[in-house]
Amino acid sequence: MARFLVTGGAGYIGSHVVLALLDDGHDVVVLDNLRTGHRAAVPPAATFILGDIGDSACLDRVLSRGPWDGVLHFAALSLVGESMLHPMQYMQVNAGYGYGLIDACIRHGVQRFVFSSTANLFDAAPTALIDEDTPLSPGSPYGESKLMVERALYWADRIHGLKSACLRYFNAAGADPAGRAGEDHRPETHLIPLVIDAALGRRPALTLFGDDYPTPDGTCVRDYVHVSDLARAHLAVLPLLNERSVVFNIGTGLGNSNREIITAVQRASGLDVPWVAGPRRLGDPARLVASPARLHAATGWTPAFTSIDAIVETAFLWRKAHPQGYGD
């Protein structure tokens, strides 16, 4: 059994990674300020600490309770649109506080660090499948702040020997198949839960931003990876960090358009989804699909959820059972 600190472990992806670590028999401590996370998302088997990674004294108190077999870092501001309005806030919280966490890990002898990065590093990729060699071009201050942490981790390894995994997520989706956790953002900005809520009559008709893209049906294409598959990828990379630092893109290699998401929700729910076409949003690329080949070659990881219907079904069942999210 290993012992891990998970920052932001009360959030959507973080809570699913906590479940995966617990299911694997590990001891987990969650540090979260609950600004966007939910206390109810933290499993009872995990130790919860209310605190902020921007508080250096808090970090020292927590990390001094070692030894730790690794830190998994999810705590961040994560709204692309909000980052366009408040870029310096995103730089301060995501990059600045991230630097402080990395420095604290070095001081307290942490050897392994897993970082929640983003596909927003690839604003308009020139290739059909985006691999780790695709040129980086952050699409927002949010993406830029994540890249700044990746660069800090490079130097933390080179100078201090802190081994890290920078995992660049594409579109996390779905919910724990056992119903233990799901997606509850406030405000909700992700497409699948918005489509589900439109089907359930919990929101007005959905607006699809752009129906004239150079894609088969005119709407944006994205790579949706089930959140539990994403969580398993975090466990899969940990053994690699005993020897080296790594960077991986995490997706399925498959893409689904916005209209295909609507039809998948209709199949899962048996309900119609009211929607209208709207103008394009500034900065939305037509297609973002990952190549997971390098991650598979290094770890053997492959997604268990390979169809959008399977992903959407878990999201629908959780959201239908929890109309108020974790407020239930």
Q: How far is CA 304 from the centre of its chain?
A: 17
**Residue 303 domain-assigned (yes or no):** no
**Residue 85 domain-assigned (yes or no):** yes
Active site residue 97: no
Helices and strands: H and E segment counts in the chain = 11, 14
**Residue 274 domain-assigned (yes or no):** no
**Residue 111 domain-assigned (yes or no):** yes
Q: Which of 12, 90, 97, 142 is catalytic?
A: 142
**Residue 7 domain-assigned (yes or no):** yes
In b/e form, how buried is each residue of 206-245, taking b as 16+ CB within 10 angstroms?
bebbbbebebeebbbbbbbbbbbbbbbbbbbbbebbeeeb
Domain residue limits at 151: 3-173+225-250
Which pLDDT tens digit goes with each residue over 181-192?
A: 999 999 888 999
Q: Give the residue-averaged pLDDT of 135-142.
A: 93
More reliable by pLDDT, 190 or 123: 190
**Residue 99 domain-assigned (yes or no):** yes
Which pLDDT tens digit goes with each residue over 36-58?
A: 999 999 999 999 999 999 999 99
pTM of the model: 0.96
CATH number of the domain enclosing 60: 3.40.50.720
pLDDT value at residue 31: 98
**Residue 105 domain-assigned (yes or no):** yes
Residue 125's pLDDT band (boundaries 50, 70, 90)?
low
Q: Give the residue-averaged pLDDT of 205-210.
A: 94
pLDDT value at residue 139: 87
Q: Give the residue-averaged pLDDT of 124-145.
A: 89
How many domains is the chain built from? 1
**Residue 264 domain-assigned (yes or no):** no
Which pLDDT tens digit goes with each residue over 271-288?
A: 999 999 999 987 678 899
